[in-house]
A and B are shown apart, each in its own frame.
Chain A
């Protein structure tokens, strides 16, 4: 084979490559890039969807800084993310390690994924009914054992934790599965060496499993944190943001401003801010937790 042929090869593959990429690229352009750019533009306008956008400069952003409900939504969302990601990650790692070390049964491993296969809205409504103050089964049990009933969704002190718990229940199996996949990439020889050196399960977990799992864990965290910031459906079909503003998370407030109150410009501005928060959070996690490097060398 001549050198000229080698040099030509990339050019000859460019055409097919572009054809292969085109469907995904088209989808990206139409459904992600264009909407994002248009959203950024709309954030500088006053727009109620039925009329035409009117350019107002940075006024939406100035309004946002002065909007107590917006800041409250940021606080509520952060609280939700901390609770949801905290519980979910710890439980998922625990569950994955149990799957990895204790069982080879596909049935058990598969059944852990079941909640994830139910639609989010269905899960939310199911728990909404089960946790109802007056006629929910959970409170019936609490009442039967003599404890005071709890208004899980209605009490301001409980509502965000309840929503975080419901979503943890649904996503736990899926998150555990991702972590489990990461565990399987850790060579068995490392565990054998640890066993030979007399390390117990506890020490093995902290010294072997967790450090070698780090790159996968970072990926899982970036995905779940990004998702958690966008919590919407569970709140929308249960509390609708109440009581008061206790569960009015950012995405719900954005939706309300846009679709219920007709302030699409202001809603776009908040979407842009949420975008920046998420991009920052993802970047910080990748950097601080050294996602690109593995300790396995």
Chain B
């Protein structure tokens, strides 16, 4: 990279290579279905599904390719444009609208007409119907968020598991939730955050660890607070055309959130660039984290840390809230065998596969009965996942915002949120970012 004399050659070369490579999806052997996913934790379970599918359809074989999230989408884009995309792939609600707009997804309606959409958790199937009224994915799983806490630290702070389950929050003083976070924060001299003499500039253990400023969605950062104020990301969801980052309820919540940094209860943004929030938790640098169920096996895998789970705090509306996101399997429009691809999607969206995935205990399948199997599988590992499932049972979930221009929204809101949480700009600066975002929809 350092020695090329031809400026921009890297970018330019990749541009034209992707643009001129010919279609070659016919190169794969007959009866092979290429399937991509990004979560390595889930690959073994889906390999079981692939084996079961092959058994039921001996003339079809599924080849699974796993790529990490960071490379997944650019690899997909280049594979699509060069005609070598996977027949079927794991899809995300923040990405599929742009793929639909570019004609890269196969409508599934006629292929899955006989699938009972009521078997999935409410709302999940609707996420995958685009603005043209066509279906572009069958739900495979769902996720919610909850509090992960260090049991030893909570005990040392004089708090109980019951206390952790009954926290309340408001944007003015943070409620009992902020009080607990303050109590759990300990400076280098052993003084707690709610005690006199606390040194906020030399903190040994932060009450609440954060992964970053939360981009445009705040899934594990701030969305569990903002939603309890009545605020929503967009005017309608899915397919909103107006974002609400200028709303006082949103800005007040973010201002409260940033105040935790100023008080020394939450790490400054610059210290979150580096080791992951969960590794810092594992290293005993934070007492609480908020994260999604897909991280369960990671958190419970840290040696010497006893992890407890608690539901997110109740807010001004008297309820808890969690973002509810669901992945789906989609078929690429360029697939050489749409029938076989749709058959595999249907299998992935059936109890035949989702029961297997549930039994692996890594994620909650979209089918309600399969999710119960997952709950039991987690229980067998000694993990009570009620803090995650309670949102679904009590109806306190809200859907991940699905709109057009998602990648541009992300690119605008990422630095804007960084500026605010980094203390470089006031929350009112988010109004200007909101104007930029909404200009995309004009």
Contacts and interface: CB of A to CB of B under 8 A. Distances in A.
Interface of A: 31-32, 34-36, 38-39, 42, 48-51, 69, 120, 128-129, 131-136, 148, 151, 153-156, 159, 171, 223-224, 226-230, 232-233, 238-239, 242-245, 248, 251, 254-256, 258-262, 264, 267-268, 271-272, 274-279, 282
Given A243-B270, A271-B12, 10 more contacts: A32-B6, A35-B9, A129-B274, A135-B275, A136-B275, A154-B269, A154-B271, A154-B273, A262-B77, A271-B7
A142 to B, nearest CB: 13
Nearest to A28: B6
A129 B2 contact: no
B414 interface: yes
B275 to A, nearest CB: 5
Given A50-B104, A154-B269, A261-B407, A135 B283 contact: yes
A41 B432 CA distance: 34
Contact of B271 (A133, A244, A271, A278): A133
A244 B213 CA distance: 10
Contacts of A233: 1
Interface residues of B, number: 53
A220 B102 CA distance: 45
Nearest to B209: A134
Given A38-B16, A134-B275, A261-B408, A242 B7 contact: no
Contact of A134 (B13, B18, B283): B283
B9 to A, nearest CB: 6
B8 A245 contact: no
B407 A227 contact: no
Main secondary structure of the interface of A (DSSP, over half): helix
Contacts of B214: none
A77 to B, nearest CB: 12
Contacts of B270: 133, 151, 154-156, 243
Interface string B4-28: 1111111111111111100000000
B81 A135 contact: no
Given A35-B17, A156-B424, A255-B11, A50 B271 contact: no
Given A135-B279, A154-B269, A223-B3, A275 B8 contact: yes
Nearest to B283: A135
Contacts of A238: 273
Contact of B16 (A34, A159, A256, A267): A34
Contacts of A248: 415
A61 B7 CA distance: 18
Contacts of B73: 260
B418 A243 contact: yes
B11 A120 contact: no
The 3 lowest CB-CB distance pairs between A and B, nearest first, are A154-B270, A154-B273, A227-B2
Contacts of B268: 151, 154
Interface string B350-376: 000000000000000000000000000
B183 interface: no
A244 B415 contact: yes
Contacts of A136: 274-275
B104 A39 contact: no
B86 to A, nearest CB: 15
Nearest to A39: B12
A287 to B, nearest CB: 16
A226 B18 contact: no
Candidate in A34, A154, A232 with the most chain B CB atoms within 10 angstroms: A154
Contacts of B4: 226-227, 230
B407 A260 contact: yes
Given A50-B103, A155-B270, A242-B415, A230 B15 contact: no
A132 to B, nearest CB: 4
Candidate in B2, B5, B18 with the most chain A CB atoms within 10 angstroms: B2
Given A120-B1, A244-B424, A259-B74, A239 B273 contact: yes
Interface string B44-86: 0000000000000000000000000000011001101100000
B280 interface: yes
Contact of A226 (B5, B411, B424): B5
A120 B10 CA distance: 16
B422 interface: yes
B272 interface: yes
Nearest to A155: B270
Contacts of B9: 32, 35-36
B336 interface: no
Contact of A35 (B3, B15, B271): B15
Interface in B189-245: 201
A153 B273 contact: yes
A52 to B, nearest CB: 10
Contacts of B78: 49, 259
Contact of B19 (A31, A49, A129, A274): A49
B419 interface: yes
A182 B242 CA distance: 62
B246 to A, nearest CB: 20
Nearest to A49: B81
A260 B74 contact: yes
Candidate in B77, B78, B419 with the most chain A CB atoms within 10 angstroms: B77
Nearest to B425: A244
A261 B2 contact: no
A243 B19 contact: no
Contact of B15 (A50, A239, A268): A268
B153 to A, nearest CB: 16
B285 interface: yes
A136 B14 CA distance: 35
A274 B273 contact: no
B11 A129 contact: no
B7 A279 contact: yes
A168 B77 CA distance: 34
B247 interface: no
B273 to A, nearest CB: 3
Nearest to B8: A271
B103 A261 contact: no
Nearest to A51: B102
A126 to B, nearest CB: 13
Contacts of A171: 2
A154 B418 CA distance: 11
